[in-house]
Chain A
Amino acid sequence: MFYLTLIFGPLFLAVVVYALFRNFEGVVKYIALALFAKMLAASIELYNALPAEGYLKLGSFLHVEAFNYVLTLQVDMLSVVMLILSSLLLILVTLSSWTMKNQAAYFSLLIMFSGAIFGVFMSTNLIWFFIFWELTLVPMFFLVGIWGAEQRVYAAVKFFLYTHVASMLILLAFYLLYAQTGFLDVTLIKEAAIATPALVWWLLFLGFAVKLPIFPFHTWLPDAHVQAPAPISVLLAGVLLKMGAYGMIRFVIELMPESSREYAIYMLILGLITAFFAGFLAIYQTHIKKMVAYSSISHMGLVMIAIATVSYEGLSAALYEMIGHAFIISPLFLIAGYLHHKTGSWQMGDMGGIVQRAPYVSAIFVLAGMAALGLPGTMGFIGEITILISAIKVNGAWIAVIALASLISAGYLIWTFRRVIYGEMSPVVASADFKMHKIEFSALVLFAGLIVLFGLYPQPIFDAANQAFAHFGGVQ
């Protein structure tokens, strides 16, 4: 029953908090922080309680006899890792939103999101999974649409429509799976081991590909990222995109390894195009947040490539890169938002010489950027190198062209440093006040610490990955 409250508790709490504390705004962020800390603790507890292999059953609720409509909560290592990542990011997002406007509503929506996201990662019943999946969109939509920048409504609607259409594909695929097997629980469907038709595979792949996002379904992301407030960009990149990757691994690869191997080449090509295309686009951006957004897409292309290997190493690399991407892209988004907030401009041309005004923030920006371009000692390097090794193993040496993608990221990040961080101090920078709230800064420091910690000592994540994919049948 406790685990049920992890999902519905926040949903309920969100309403209560908003109703009660609308007039005591200062309190809400503490409530949110306490809740997310509790959720992190619960996730870690789950991590420790997991059996060596397979799922840990947490209970079944809300049973409707007529059709397999039951909220089954069970977790395996993959979902627990996602739970830990999500709750950790929620804490960091809360810290970085410390001085956000209109806090009661903002944090209520965050709390609501936390419940929904836990639902996504904990339920194995397709219908409930889908409900939570869609439910995450609601707070996201409002967080972008209300707290965003100038074109926030356009971006919010575009984001919503894109992902919603994608969800319809997923729903249709779920229905087809149910129609064929009579089960709605993903573990049962897997046990039924049916030969799934091509249509189901494609529906699920495309549905999750939009979320990931994969070329050519990526255009919602730059808009959403740019318009969203910086902490919400973190949530988008760190959690929402990861839902796509999670879905891809859980439903496409785990459920249909045979078809996945058959269509691996399409996944691979789309992943490659995404990585390169977004990388090239990032070079040409003058808008700092758009540059980060394309960089983010480029890295998710790498995740797609890793998944496309349909192999044990590849999935481990994908999981590592998913986590790495969350920790690396987040500070970049936060700092981009911070620079805009302080200078009033999005244009990198207006900046320059930031390091002279804000040396510590600049150092973190450079560290995260270096991680994004795959510098050894950071998470970016391990992610890239393991993806490359796994991809080469499956597809042969020609795949080493992926390494070119890291070269491209070297290009745009290094020039960004030159334009924004170094160089002559621009008048805008000279006149701006670069004070940053201590708590918001602490979030940046935590991100930087995580990047280096798991960059130097990646084994804990690989241990988790090994356990997560050990019970994936059909994966080499």
Chain B
Amino acid sequence: MMEMYLYLALFAPLAGSLFAALFGASPKTLWTGLITSGLLFTSFVSSVILFSYLLSGGEVIHVEMMTWMATGNLYIPFGFVVDEVSATMMIVVTTVSTVVHVYAIGYMDHDKGFNRFFSYLSAFVFSMMVLVMSDNFAGLFIGWEGVGLCSWLLIGFWYHKETATWAANEAFIMNRIADLGMLIGIFLIYWNTGSLQYDKVFAEVPYLDIDTVTMIGIFLFVGAMGKSAQFPLHTWLADAMEGPTPVSALIHAATMVTAGVYLVIRANPIYDLIPDVGYMIASLGAFVAIFAATMALVNRDMKRIIAYSTLSQLGYMFVAAGLGAYWVALFHLMAHAFFKALLFLGAGNVMHAMDDELDPVKMGGLRHAMKWTMVMMTLASVALAGIYPLAGFFSKDKILEVAFSGDHYILWGTLWVTAGLTAFYSFRLIMLAFFGEKRHEALGFHPHEAYKYVLWAMSPLAVLAVIAGWFEHEFVHFITHLLPNFEFHTHHVEMILIIVTSMIALGGIITAIMLYKNGPLSKKWEERPCYKVLINQYFIPQFYEEFFTKPYRELSRVLWKEVDMKIVDASVDGIANTIYGTGEKTRHMQDGNLSSMLRWMVIGLLILLTLAAAFSFGTSDTVQQALSDLGAI
């Protein structure tokens, strides 16, 4: 019975995608939006049923669908599993994607590619479900690449925009580079354990020598770095904001980018064996957290600010996962999915109101026209900043506790400062967009609130952004059936930590309100070198262009123009010309007349066959001798 829900949860989005694809190139039909949303809701309900089944103590559901590949010693079955981790992920994915689907019916209302959009979006959800529900690394990888493909299609959805297709390709290639690492990790797993099934692999891993496990852990993490846009593969995420905003909310905030975190959580038996690698992951995470937060401080593109914020929060998750607090990472992943998707959808409303203008400096005073959007975005920002009692408070605070508990004070300090920065840039955005003077009036914008049902569609996320943290104890109890529990050694300072963290978050908020209550800062600030560095993203994109893209193109050019044309092809032509020169007398044979050439060919073939026959009759001693001298026989 439960298997049916499993298949329903998995395949309903696919059915929706295929249905919408049927009308992919036709003009907008509202049905595609409604039916895909309806099917996603089905998937959501099934996920909830599965989740509550597990919650009430049900067995882990495991199905093997088919033998996927079997040749020689290679045997890869294809199966799915619903356990505590995948059930949680399913809930997150289907909740956010159902909301985003309904929202997008309004958001994409006037778009020519309405049907195509829903086809891609549902295809994405299907791939994401494959990713989280697979019971083996092969299925995980398939989902992994599938979400990458859909992300590529959706970032470049407005394909007539050069920047959009460029950003899509950048994201795809960066992810390909990382996936290569992951693929190698998977091969290493297969090579050393002889299986790709999670349970078999994890049972086998403790018996492998530690160097191998380290290699596996590192290579898998390289894959995670690409999907979760960790430094130095982070540049694609900000550029991915070229896609439609519902896509940013679903893919580049709530689900796909957290796949890397999911991978580390899922592979926890591997990472438990290699705490050094875990520490490396945590350090990188802390670095990315503060690195991205600084870039968000100055940016003047609403969506990019939120994207950097996502990056920063992913850093937080990796700190928790790297330090072995897998359930904390999953907890933050879930809470973050809700409030960050809400933030993005709110930004989408603002974009619509402002005719796709993204610069908050040009907005101001939007609260009058867009009251409910303002309320929801502020709510999401408070949750993001980690203020009690909203979702972000519980999950983020736990991560800081994890860092403190392991005596990783540098990590803790970094995250603590980042918490302040997070609060600051979130409220900088809120203040610039919704408060202060109506700067947009001078620019000729006429903002308006979004459709009512769009706001209603967003409301579940708003509720979740508030309450998701309240179920911490139930969640811990549930998830530690599968994930190891984390021993906190911070009971004596717990309250102090909470207060210190809350203080800096509140401080960030208050600073932002004070600084920006009268609109943007003066232009003089933009002359400063440190502003220049931040707004140019530390000059990393330029660096990549100069040191990777250009040399790569140059190498291709040299190989083709110099090596292939001038050496390989020319030497063959040279041999041909030499033969041609000596055969000058037989030139009339090659007069370019096809039929006479054919005649010569037939004659030649006949002569050769005769010779072959003659040779075989007279395998005379002399011929034999000559051949054996040549070493032939």
Do chains A and B stick together as partners?
yes
Question: Is the CB–CB distance between A360 and B25 below 8 Å?
Answer: yes
Which A373-397 residues sit within 8 Å CB-CB of chain B? Answer: 373, 375-377, 381-382, 385-386, 388-390, 392-393, 397
**What A residues does B72 contact at CB under 8 A?**
311-313, 316, 390, 466
CB–CB B594/A145 < 8 A? yes
Is A441 engaged at the interface, CB distance under 8 Å to the other chain?
no
The residue from A280, A385, A462 contacting B560, defined by CB atoms under 8 A apart: A280
The answer on a CB contact under 8 Å between B165 and A370 is no
Does B608 sit at the interface, judged by CB under 8 A? yes
A179 contacts B166, C-beta separation under 8 Å:
no
- CB-CB contacts of A116-154 with B at 8 A, as 1s and 0s? 000000000001000100100010011001100000010
Interface of A is mostly: helix
Within the complex, which residue of B68, B564, B609 is in contact with A281, where a contact is CB–CB below 8 Å? B564
Whether the Cβ atoms of A418 and B612 lie closer than 8 Å is: no
**Is the Cβ of B619 less than 8 Å from the Cβ of A313?**
no
Contacts of A303 in B (CB 8 A): none
Q: How far is the CA of A142 from the CA of B598 in the complex (A)?
A: 9
Docked CA distance A393–B564 (Å) = 32
- With CB as the reference atom, state the residue of chain A lying closest to B564: A281
Question: B169 to chain A: which residues have CB within 8 Å?
Answer: 414-415, 417-418
Given A199-B632, A355-B159, answer yes or no on A418-B73 (Cβ-Cβ < 8 Å).
no
The reply on B142 being an interface residue by CB < 8 A is: yes
> In the complex the two chains form, is B615's CB within 8 Å of A407's CB?
no
Q: A197-B633, A313-B71 are in contact. Are A414 and B612 (CB under 8 A)?
A: no
**Is A284 among interface residues, defined by CB-CB distance under 8 A?**
yes
| Interface presence of B162 (CB below 8 A) | yes
A462:B180 contact, CB within 8 angstroms: no
Which residues from B are CB-within-8-Å of A423?
159-160, 162, 165
B188 touches A397 (CB 8 A): yes
Closest to A466 in B: B71
- Cβ of B149 under 8 Å from chain A: yes
Across the interface, which residues of A come within 8 angstroms of B162, CB to CB? 423-424
Q: What is the chain A residue whose CB lies nearest that of B604? A: A164
* Chain B residue nearest to A145 in the complex (CB): B594
Is the C-beta of B442 less than 8 angstroms from some C-beta in chain A? no
The contact of A425 among B68, B160, B559, by CB within 8 Å, is B160
Stretch at the interface among B346-354, B412-420, B504-512, B549-557: B549-557
In whole angstroms, what is the CA distance A465 to B569 when docked? 36
Is A171's beta carbon under 8 Å from chain B? Answer: yes
CA distance A388 to B190 in the complex (A): 12
Task: Specify the chain B residue showing the minimal Cβ separation from A312.
Answer: B72
Q: Shortest Cβ distance from B290 into chain A, in angstroms?
A: 31
In the complex, the answer to whether B70 meets A462 with C-beta atoms within 8 Å is yes
* A365–chain B nearest beta-carbon distance, Å: 13
Q: Does B443 contact A (CB under 8 A)?
A: no
B71 near A316: Cβ-Cβ < 8 Å: yes
Shortest Cβ distance from A424 into B: residue: B160
Question: Are B592 and A153 within 8 A (Cβ)?
Answer: yes
B576 close to A (CB within 8 Å):
yes
Q: Of B70, B564, B631, which one neighbours A199 at CB under 8 angstroms? A: B631
Pick the contact of B145: A283, A356, A381 (CB < 8 A). A381
Q: Which residues of A contact B561 (CB under 8 A)?
A: 284
Chain B minimum-CB-distance residue to A277: B559
One of B28-36, B38-46, B171-179 at the interface: B171-179
Which of chain B's residues have a CB closer than 8 A to the CB of A180? Answer: 633
User: When the two chains form the complex, which single residue of B159, B557, B560, B572 contacts A422, counting CB atoms closer than 8 Å?
Assistant: B159
Assuming A175-B616, A176-B632, A407-B177, is B68 touching A458 (CB within 8 A)? yes
Whether A192 sits at the interface, judged by CB under 8 Å, is: no
B340 to chain A, nearest CB (A): 27
Instruction: Given A283-B556, A284-B553, A410-B173, verify A176-B633 contact (CB < 8 Å).
Output: yes
- Flag if A458 contacts B159 (CB, 8 Å): no
Among residues of A, the one whose C-beta sits closest to the C-beta of B568 is A216
Is there an interface contact between A353 and B142, defined as CB atoms closer than 8 Å? no
Encoded as 1 (CB less than 8 Å from any A CB) or 0, chain B from 558 to 600 comes to 0111011000110010001000000000000010101001100
Known A175-B612, A176-B627; contact A400-B71, beta-carbon cutoff 8 A: no
> Which residues between 157 and 195 of chain B lie within 8 Å of chain A, taking CB atoms?
159-160, 162, 165-166, 168-169, 172-173, 176-177, 180, 183-184, 187-188, 190-191
> B631 — which chain A residues lie within 8 A by C-beta?
197-199
Residues of A within 8 A of B563 (CB): 277
Cα distance A404–B632 when bound, in Å? 39
Chain A residues whose CB sits within 8 angstroms of the CB of B603 once the complex forms: none
Report whether B73 and A199 are in contact in the complex, using a CB–CB cutoff of 8 Å: no
* Contacting residues of chain A (431-448) with chain B, CB-CB under 8 angstroms: none
Report the Cα distance A198→B632, complex, angstroms: 7
Chain B count of residues within 8 A CB distance of the other chain:
71
Pairwise interchain contact B142-A377, C-beta atoms closer than 8 A = yes
Tell me which of A156, A377, A411, A462 contacts B146 (CB under 8 A). A377
Contact A376 B177 (CB under 8 A): no
Q: Does residue B141 face the partner (Cβ distance < 8 Å to A)?
A: yes
Known: A145-B594, A414-B173, A465-B71. A422 touches B559 (CB 8 A): no
Which residues of chain B have C-beta atoms less than 8 A from A66's C-beta? 617
Residues from chain B with a CB closer than 8 A to the CB of A284 are 553, 556-557, 559-561
Closest-CB distance, A470 to chain B (whole angstroms):
10
Whether A48 sits at the interface, judged by CB under 8 Å, is: no
CA distance A359 to B553 in the complex (A): 30
Is B632 within 8 A of A219, CB to CB? no
Cα of A392 to Cα of B74 in the assembled complex, Å = 12
Q: Is A2 close to B, CB under 8 A?
A: no
User: From residue 107 to 126 of chain B, which have CB atoms closer than 8 A to chain A?
Assistant: none
Q: Tell me if B67 counts as interface (CB < 8 A to partner A).
A: yes
Report B322 CB to chain A, min CB distance, Å: 25
A461 CB, min distance to chain B CBs, angstroms: 9
A459 within 8 A of B: yes
* Proximity bits, B63-79, A CB within 8 Å = 1, else 0: 00011111111100000
Set B69, B191, B609: member contacting A462, Cβ < 8 A: B69
Question: What residues of chain B lie closer than 8 Å to A400, measured between beta carbons?
Answer: 183-184, 187
Complex partner residue of B191 from A156, A313, A385, A393, CB under 8 angstroms: A393
The 0/1 profile, CB within 8 Å of B marked 1, for residues 449-463 of chain A is: 000000001110010
Instruction: Select from chain A the residue with minimum beta-carbon distance to B139.
Output: A376
Q: In whole angstroms, how far apart are the Cα atoms of A157 and B572 in the complex?
A: 14
Does A161 belong to the interface (CB within 8 Å)?
yes
Contacts of B630 in A (CB 8 A): 199
Interface status of B156 (Cβ within 8 A of chain A): yes
Contact A458 B69 (CB under 8 A): yes
A178 at the interface (CB under 8 A from B): yes
Return chain B residues, CB-CB under 8 Å to A385. Answer: 183
Cβ-defined contact, A397 with B612, below 8 A:
no
Contacting residues, chain B, for A197 (C-beta < 8 A)? 631-633
Interface flag for B624 (CB, 8 Å): yes
- Inter-chain contact B559/A313, CB cutoff 8 Å: no
Measured CA separation A386–B605 after assembly (Å): 40
Cβ contacts under 8 Å, A381 to chain B: 142, 145
Interface string of A43-81 (1 = CB under 8 A from B): 000000000000000000000001101000000000000
In this assembly, does B4 line the interface, its C-beta being within 8 Å of a C-beta of chain A?
Answer: no
B364 within 8 A of A: no
User: Nearest CB to that of A370 among chain B residues?
Assistant: B149
Q: Bound complex: CA of A311 vs CA of B72, how far in Å?
A: 9
How far does the Cβ of A87 sit from chain B's closest Cβ, in whole Å? 24
Evaluate contact between B25 and A359: CB separation under 8 angstroms: yes
Q: Is B24 an interface residue (CB 8 A)?
A: yes
Set of chain A residues within 8 Å of B190, measured between Cβ atoms: 389
19 of the cross-chain contacts (CB-CB < 8 Å) are A138-B598, A146-B594, A176-B632, A178-B616, A179-B616, A179-B619, A197-B632, A199-B630, A199-B631, A281-B559, A283-B553, A355-B159, A375-B149, A376-B145, A397-B191, A417-B169, A418-B166, A422-B159, A462-B71
Q: A134-B605, A216-B572, A418-B169 are in contact. List 19 more A-B contacts (CB 8 A).
A: A67-B617, A175-B612, A178-B616, A179-B624, A219-B568, A219-B569, A281-B559, A281-B564, A284-B556, A284-B557, A284-B559, A311-B72, A353-B159, A359-B25, A373-B176, A375-B145, A388-B183, A411-B173, A457-B66
Q: Which 3 pairs between the two chains have the least Cβ-Cβ distance?
A: A422-B159, A376-B142, A313-B72
